[in-house]
Structure 1
Amino acid sequence: MAQEIRPPRLGGDPPGPGEGQSRRTVLVAIGALLLGMLLAALDQTIVSTALPTIVSELGGMEHLSWVVTAYMLASTAGTPLWGKLGDQYGRKRLFQGAIVLFLIGSALCGLAQNMPQLIAFRALQGLGGGGLIVLSMAIVGDLVPPRERGKYQGLFGAVFGTTSVLGPLLGGLFTQHLSWRWVFYVNLPIGVVALFVIAAVLHIPARSTRHTIDYLGTLLIASVATCLVLVASLGGTTWAWGSPQIIGLAVLGGVLLVWFVRVERRAVEPVLPLKLFAIRTFSLVAVISFVIGFAMFGAMTYLPTFLQVVQGVTPTMSGVHMLPMVLGLLSTSTASGQIVSRTGRWKVFPIAGTAITCVGLLLLHRLDENSSDAEMSVCFFVFGAGLGLVMQVLVLVVQNAVSYEDLGVATSGATFFRSIGASFGVAVFGTIFTSRLIGKLDEVFASAGQDLPAGVGPEQVAADPRAIATLPPDLRPAVLHAYAESITDVFLYAAPVVLVAFVVAWFLKEDKLRASVTAPDTSQTLASNPVERSSRDECARALSVLGSREGRKAIYVKITDRAGLDLLPAASWLLLRVRRHGTVEPARLAETTPVPLRVITEASRQVEERRLVTREGVQLTLTEDGVRAAVSLARAREESLAELLGDWWGPDRPTDLVQLVEELTAELCGSDGERPHTPEPPGDHHP
């Protein structure tokens, strides 16, 4: 049976995404990428419910925050480097390197014998984890054409949503029934499978995009963040606020910040372009993102300690108790994104979200050792719902406020500030908690007036919650109350910080949304490290989401009307396909596309009757009238896509944006992504 003829590829051009690979190979490769993403996403949430046990075994409650902060800082700092190095030297090799680095870090974390070791190994693990997230999403662009990209990137977003729910549960299960070390060891078999599958089936074209990588800027911004987080976490606990060490760290952070600003002004490809801060919306969103990261990750780190130590629940059940917060976050995040995409109105969400988050923190402050499960669930849900309302919208607002060439860096910039805020939140929450706890325990023990077990005092109970069990029974309630107040006071102190974000949100200007700005995927709103995509990748994601949302039939109805043709939608689809391939066989189309033979036959009959095609044997070929009609249809689709881009599609539109629109036009109108020898799975039966 004859096959469709594809136009020859120009010599030297690398194959397009997914070309030359079977659908099964592509799906297996994406499955391996999802495993890599799973590793990194899981490690953001699985550790939280294990932290109280880790601290009990290794000691050092005052260093608890750094188990989380070290991972976040390392993954945040490494994100822009992984993205650009992958562009320059090939993403497959870099992705394999990120997996190996992550697995080495995981194995060492499981073997750690003290807190300093664990913190250092978490930083190594975070460096690999940042690469896993960035490169796995970038490789999807190498494997599938832009039209299909939204569908697969949705799977990666689903991984983040799933791990947000499963992470705390799995962390509790491993800690309770095996050992906290299995929180890290579980990565090893998953990572090894992903490594072997990637080596065997991932074949992506060798493209090299030269970058002037801002190594110094990356090092400086990471150093500034580390200095300031050290000040926040060590000030008032390990060292006094007025000590030479704290003052020295603060001064060093300030000097490095000035140096960073000077470097970024001269950098060819700055890691954080300073010109973005001239855009009022970006500056305001940066502040709100910082505060949201501060509140979200700070609370998620210390709530399991409240549940396990104060409420006395098991590690597994502490994960269950955290579910209302996660469900509140996911439900309002999804709902707000959908509402904004449909209505174009968004300002109410950051205002309402920050207000509800503030209320949630005040509710969390009211919890104590006698709070019921129902009361805690309501408080957790309200807090999560507030976070979800604002998180989706922040990325969307920034994308709408910047020019096309700044789309990628503005998106990563907004999520960068959330990542830094998360690091600060965990550190500051830890400092407040530790200082309050030691002070309250001193009061409890000073008023005890009774003999205590040898070697058990405020410092020992603060460092190891298991020591509470060795205390006299009549002293334990007071100690638990001290723990409860110390943790819930943290939420009280965080409320005014969120209130600042609430005030800032009122100053956001509600500009009309571009049609191409769509709700970001979950990976952009739940990942602790910044998302790193080029402007072209961000635009392709948005347009592909819109294309899939319209549905194939709606697309062809729209462009047929725009081209001024009186044809069935399937007839327009058929004409564009003949134009793309030169000649097609209707019966063959029914085997290689999800369009039924009956629909194709009816479309073929109409275009033949209108003399838009001629039949040569079983093949259809365009007539002169057919060529003109197909050109009109192609132009109509291109105009429809360009219309979605708003002012990005101006007279000075960038070349890569023009190429993207042409590429999407060809895919949406000409081939629908099918491969002649590989039947598509059942799906949308509209042309």
Structure 2
Amino acid sequence: VNVPIAIVVVIAAARTIPSVRAVGRPVIDYLGIALVTVGASALILATSWGGNEYAWGSPVIIALFAGGVVALALFCLVEFRAKEPMLPMRLFRNPVFTVCSILSFVVGFAMLGAMTFLPTYLQYVDGDSATLSGVRTLPMVVGLLVASVFSGNVVSKTGRYRIFPIVGSLVMAVGLYLLSRMGPDSGVWLESLYMLVLGVGIGLSMQVLTIAVQNTVDYSDLGTATSGVTFFRTLGSSFGTAVFGTIYANALKPNLTDGIAAAARAGGDPAVLAKAAQSPQGLHRLPAAQSAPLAQAYADTLHTVFLWTVPVAVLGLVVALFLKEVKLRDTARVGSTDMGEGFAQPSAGDSARLLEFSVAKILRGAGPDTARRIVAESDTRLDMAGAWAVMQVELFTRMVGHAGLGLIATRHRVPPEVLVPVFDRMIEEGYLTGDGRLFTHTAAGSREAAAIGVAWARWLNERLAEHGSRPDDRQLRAAVDVIAKRLLAEDLTQELSPEKPRVGAAL
């Protein structure tokens, strides 16, 4: 099923994803990637093979554990020295990132473990088909989605997120405990309720972790931090599947032996019973008196699996108590309702786009009084009108390479004649030079533009700091330029549109 879909995806990607040439040659952390792959793989194999393929004290398992720990330790050392590390160790100095990474690991551990073995339970214990067992896990999915949407909307409206991982971890622990209480006589509705509780716990925990991380790291680390949290969730899923598989295999053998013995006392042939117990269909084709002990053996085994998951969820609750509440950025509050933030593959977390969004929102709320106050507090000697003209020349020169009267008038939707007096005055006072159509700064004009620019940058940084970050001047100027270019492009498009009524015709 997956291979044909993957082929279609590859073809679609090759045809539709644009080719983007990087400005600089990327530095890929090959050594870090190799070490984390070896370390994680070794530990996953150790937890998967231990007690099954090899004894826990065997040289193979000991070597895998030792090799995994050494590889991950070397990975940490390499990341301190790498020019562009895959997972910068400086991120762990941020307590929010550290807590959210641990919580993501816990959520992935519990979620994948439960989702992997629930269909097994439904098939072997309740006798459902493979298709029906998948359908019957929908209550957990519904609970997960509803809780995620609810928490996202609450975070968007209130800006508070800390309570959700705490409550979610607690509810998740309760849900896993309830799953460990299920049995052949539980019934569809009660089992669905237990799965719904688990889904609600996972949904409350998972959605806000990415939001919290994106809210507290620097803009330049947004992509790496977002991917880091998702990496830990994926790693937790891998470990959860391996650990639960080991617990399942170790618990099933003695339980199934007892179940076969009990079924044999009810008149069954032990050899036939052992073969029938290997598949849900074979098990439930047996007479009720013989299938019941075998179904109970699987139920007891899966009880053990779910019960061992409860301490993991409790650990998540303890870790969640250390999560700090910080004021959300506007971008984080908007993204909190986006399901993709919590459940999709790692998003790019484009720091430039998020910064542009924040700057645009701040500028949209700034009126003329704000501009007057910033100009008054700057070191400029210009009045408001002169400062506006000088800054228009500064902005358009950066954006398109020249500052023309027509472009400035088009951007502000005013006739060029309205702007002529202030630009003529700036030329007379020695701040601009030009022929009436194109303008450039004199040395004095450049000095005044720099003074006003510093004041604007200081004001913008103060507003951005209120939302959790303070970008450097280069990032800030790039964001402002991108916003200005988009506005100019939209204005020119409207001006040149054939459907736009001409002013002359209207007059």
Residues 316 and 207 (structure 1), Cα distance of their counterparts in 2 relative to 1, 3 Å cut:
same
Distance 1:210 1:675, change over 3 A: farther
Number of equivalences: 445
| Amino acid corresponding to residue 423 of structure 1 in structure 2 | S
Return the match for 1:658 from 468, 472, 477. Answer: 477
Question: Which segment is superposed worse, 435-444 or 407-416?
Answer: 407-416
1:375 corresponding residue in structure 2:
190
Partner of 1:524: 341
Looking at structure 2, the residues matched to 456 and 264 of structure 1 have their Cα atoms a distance apart, in angstroms, of 56
Give the secondary structure class of the aligned counterpart of 1:240: coil
Question: Equivalent of 1:495, from 295, 303, 310?
Answer: 310
Pairing 1:449–2:265 present: yes
- With over 3 angstroms needed to count, the CA separation of the structure-2 counterparts of 1:190 and 1:626, relative to structure 1, is farther
1:308-347 alignment to 2 at 5 Å? 308-347=123-162
More moved, 437-446 vs 259-268: 259-268
| Cα distance, 1:546 vs structure 2 | 9.1
Report the residue type matching 1:334 in the other structure: V
Whole-angstrom CA distance in 2 between matches of 1:500 and 1:679: 64
Q: 1:674 deviation in Å?
A: 6.0
Q: Shift of residue 667 of structure 1?
A: 2.5
Task: Report the counterpart of residue 48 of structure 1 in structure 2.
Answer: none
Q: Structure 1 residue 259: deviation in Å?
A: 2.0
Q: Displacement of 1:614 after TM fit?
A: 3.8
What's the secondary structure of 1:366's corresponding residue?
coil
Which amino acid in the other structure matches residue 449 of structure 1?
Answer: R
Q: In 1, Cα distance between the equivalents of 2:181 and 2:214? A: 38
CA distance in 1, matches of 2:498, 2:168: 46
Q: 2:272 and 2:497 mapped to 1: Cα distance?
A: 70
Asked if the contact 2:216–2:468 (Cα under 8 Å) also holds between the matched residues in 1, the reply is: no
* 1:660 CA displacement: 2.4
Question: 2:54 — aligned with what?
Answer: 239
| Counterpart contact for 1:231–1:250, Cα < 8 Å | yes
Instruction: Give CA-to-partner distance per residue, 1:609-655, whole Å, 9 cap, x none.
Output: xxxx347xxxxx85455999xx99xx9899669723548764x7162
Q: How does 1:382-393 map to 2 (within 5 A)?
A: 382-393=197-208
Structure-2 separation of matches of 1:235 and 1:673: 67
* Counterpart position of 1:272: 87
> What is the CA distance between 1:499 and its match in structure 2?
0.3
Contact map agreement 1:353 1:387 (CA 8 A) in 2 = yes
Quote the sequence identity (%). 37
After superposition, the Cα gap between the structure-2 partners of 1:545 and 1:453, relative to the gap in structure 1 and judged at 3 Å, is farther
Aligned residue runs from structure 1 range 141-540, under 5 A? 183-184=1-2, 186-187=4-5, 190-191=8-9, 194-195=12-13, 198-199=14-15, 202-447=17-262, 448-449=264-265, 452=268, 455-456=271-272, 458=274, 460=275, 463-469=278-284, 471-518=286-333, 519-520=335-336, 521-527=338-344, 531=346, 533=348, 537-540=350-353
For 1:28, the equivalent position in structure 2 comes to none
Query: Shift in Å at residue 295 of structure 1?
Result: 0.7
**Shift in Å, 1:454:** 8.0
8 Å Cα contact 1:328/1:384 also seen in 2: yes
Any idea what SS the aligned residue of 1:217 has? helix
TM-score by length of 1: 0.57
- State whether residues 369 and 484 of structure 1, in contact with CA within 8 Å, keep that contact through their aligned partners in structure 2: yes
Counterpart of 2:463 in structure 1 is 643
SS at match of 1:475: helix
Match of 1:75 in 2: none
For residue 275 of structure 1, report the CA deviation from its aligned partner: 2.2
**Distance (Å, rounded) in 2 between the aligned partners of 1:643 and 1:679:** 40
Q: Is the 8 A contact 1:559 1:637 kept in 2?
A: no
Q: 1:350 to 1:205 in 2, by over 3 A?
A: closer
8 Å CA contact 2:123–2:280 kept in 1: the answer is no
Q: Distance in 1 between matches of 2:272 and 2:494?
A: 71
Q: Which amino acid aligns with 1:660?
A: A
Asked whether the 8 Å contact 1:642–1:661 carries over to 2, the reply is no
The CA RMSD measured in Å over matched residues stands at: 3.9
Unaligned runs of 5+ in 1: 1-182, 566-575, 590-599, 608-612, 616-620, 681-687
Cα offset, 1:479, TM superposition? 0.9
Structure 1 residues 308, 640: closer, same or farther in 2, change over 3 A? farther
Question: Deviations along 1:519-545, whole A, 9 cap, x unmatched?
Answer: 354333213x5x2636xx145147548
C-alpha change, 1:647 and 1:367, in structure 2 (3 Å) is closer
- 5 Å-filtered alignment, 1:616-627, equals 622-623=419-420
The equivalences for 1:582-621 within 5 A come to 583=406, 613-614=415-416
Which of 1 and 2 has greater Rg? 2
Q: Determine the C-alpha separation between the residues in 1 that align with 2:359 and 2:189.
A: 41
Contact 2:168 2:203 survives alignment (8 Å): yes
Output the CA distance in 2 between the equivalents of 1:278 and 1:202. Answer: 36
2:54 is paired with a residue whose SS is coil
Structure 1 residues 511 and 371, CA gap change in structure 2 (3 angstroms)? same
C-alpha distance in 1 between matches for 2:496 and 2:38:
53
370 and 670 in structure 1: CA distance in 2 versus 1, 3 angstrom threshold: same
- Give the letter aligned to residue 663 of structure 1: V
Structure 1 215/320 Cα, relative in aligned 2: closer, same or farther at 3 Å? same
**Deviation of residue 421 (structure 1)?**
0.5
Checking the alignment, whether the CA contact within 8 Å between 1:304 and 1:319 is kept in structure 2 is yes
Counterpart Cα distance in 2 of 1:438 and 1:231: 20
Cα deviation for residue 431 of structure 1 reads: 1.4
Taking the aligned partners of 1:625 and 1:313, their CA distance within structure 2 comes to: 81
Task: Structure 2: state its 5+ residue gaps.
Answer: 374-391, 426-448, 500-507
CA distance 1:227–1:456, change in 2 (3 Å): farther
Q: CA deviation at 1:184?
A: 2.2
Contact 1:637–1:669 at 8 Å: present in 2 too? no
